[in-house]
Structure 1
């Protein structure tokens, strides 16, 4: 399954238009971090490992949460730019340190949000086609999805380095929908980046609203769910 994702997504080309009119599938596309899993403590641990190497004080999890949503490179840049007056750091070296740490110890601190397992299983069992659209790197996403036992749930997994662009560019979301065969779709996420992606792609959006520290001002979001247990009814209503 992972090999198939690597082959399919590695050869992916962004569609030139919204593929939601292509077929009759009902497609639910999920963001990953902050939507299905709580990865903030693990990401903060890796960020603070990088900061310790460069003799900088650790940051709290809530601070690191505020940096998330635009991919790991942005997290690293923001985590290092917060120290006014400190000397510049080699960005490539900092990213390597982050990835080395995150691929070893930090991933053990990732928690599944309550209801995520059951929601994914029920959606697939009820005939929905499910996909993942994340700005997380492929090398971090695919092993994690396999470890969580979710690989068989997702028809498509689009990552932050699958295409030349990433969210909020709509191509990543359109590609996920196209790989699912096209059809009516809804995107489920938790941040402004996710909302902007759905808006640019002209795909309905459901906000999983948590006090997560980095969702920001999401005024104008028409559908919200307080948690994954209440999300299912919002998803069903999107396809009426």
Structure 2
């Protein structure tokens, strides 16, 4: 049985949101009396949700305490929600690749550690409101990536039976491994380490390269099924 669903991480995989996340973090830091952080440094902090981003931003600008994080969460989220797609855009080739995958009859879904309301808002503002069969965010369940249930529940919500996961980070790699789901990692995302070291089935440097990667994994599924039936 081949995969019938392709599940994607959002930030750093489908979209380059670093500009808007940087602006939102720096707004919250300013409210807390901290200096701004340059965009390149913020890119290396993204991937574990708003609270973790704030923790890292505070640690880099003079020290983090739980009270400071709590004080910064609302300014961050309010600013981000008001400016969520000011600079965020799909990576090159994403639009056409999603259309081609859907044209092959594959279900498409998103599994992200962004709060679900913000993820849904961003997807809608990018014109993707009807593109995905399911979208689960950090607060859609009592658990989130790297807990494999976040991924398997996304598959279930999409109505699929077998998935391929596409991400950009160690968190995504650990999630796929624990869920026993084939993994494609993009090399242009927000990983702080070489994604080639994370055990993906395929690493792609351009989003359209996802199509042959998916084709290769599907052929492996077919060969495995044939071998099991021999």
TM-score over 0.5 for the pair: yes
Check if 1:224 corresponds to 2:212: no
The residue aligned with 2:12 is 34
Task: Work out whether residues 184 and 239 of structure 1, in 8 Å CA contact, stay in contact via their aligned partners in 2.
Answer: no
- C-alpha distance in 1 between matches for 2:81 and 2:200: 35
Structure with more contact order per residue of length (Cα contacts < 8 Å, sep ≥ 6): 1
The residue aligned with 2:134 is 156
Check if 1:55 corresponds to 2:33: yes
After superposition, the Cα gap between the structure-2 partners of 1:169 and 1:121, relative to the gap in structure 1 and judged at 3 Å, is: same
For 1:173, which of 143, 151, 160 is the aligned residue?
151
* C-alpha RMSD of the superposition: 1.8
TM-score w.r.t. length of structure 1: 0.85
| Cα deviation code 1:6-30 (max 9, x no counterpart) | xxxxxxxxxxxxxxxxx87611001
Aligned length: 217
After superposition, the Cα gap between the structure-2 partners of 1:130 and 1:234, relative to the gap in structure 1 and judged at 3 Å, is: same
TM-score w.r.t. length of structure 2: 0.88
The residue aligned with 1:238 is 217
Q: Which has the higher helix share?
A: 2
Unmatched 5+ stretches in structure 2: 220-230
- C-alpha distance in 1 between matches for 2:190 and 2:99: 28
- C-alpha distance in 2 between matches for 1:174 and 1:187: 10
Task: Work out whether residues 47 and 190 of structure 2, in 8 Å CA contact, stay in contact via their aligned partners in 1.
Answer: no
The residue aligned with 1:98 is 76
Structure 1 stretch displaced more, 219-228 or 160-169: 219-228
Secondary structure (helix, strand or coil) at the match of 1:28 reads strand
Task: Work out whether residues 168 and 190 of structure 2, in 8 Å CA contact, stay in contact via their aligned partners in 1.
Answer: no
The residue aligned with 1:43 is 21
The residue aligned with 1:131 is 109
Unmatched 5+ stretches in structure 1: 1-22
After superposition, the Cα gap between the structure-2 partners of 1:181 and 1:85, relative to the gap in structure 1 and judged at 3 Å, is: closer
The residue aligned with 2:98 is 120
Task: Work out whether residues 195 and 221 of structure 1, in 8 Å CA contact, stay in contact via their aligned partners in 2.
Answer: yes
Q: Where does structure 1 differ by over 4 angstroms across 4 or more consecutive aligned residues?
A: 85-89
After superposition, the Cα gap between the structure-2 partners of 1:37 and 1:51, relative to the gap in structure 1 and judged at 3 Å, is: same
The residue aligned with 1:3 is none
- C-alpha distance in 1 between matches for 2:161 and 2:7: 12
Structure 1 stretch displaced more, 78-87 or 142-151: 78-87
After superposition, the Cα gap between the structure-2 partners of 1:153 and 1:100, relative to the gap in structure 1 and judged at 3 Å, is: same
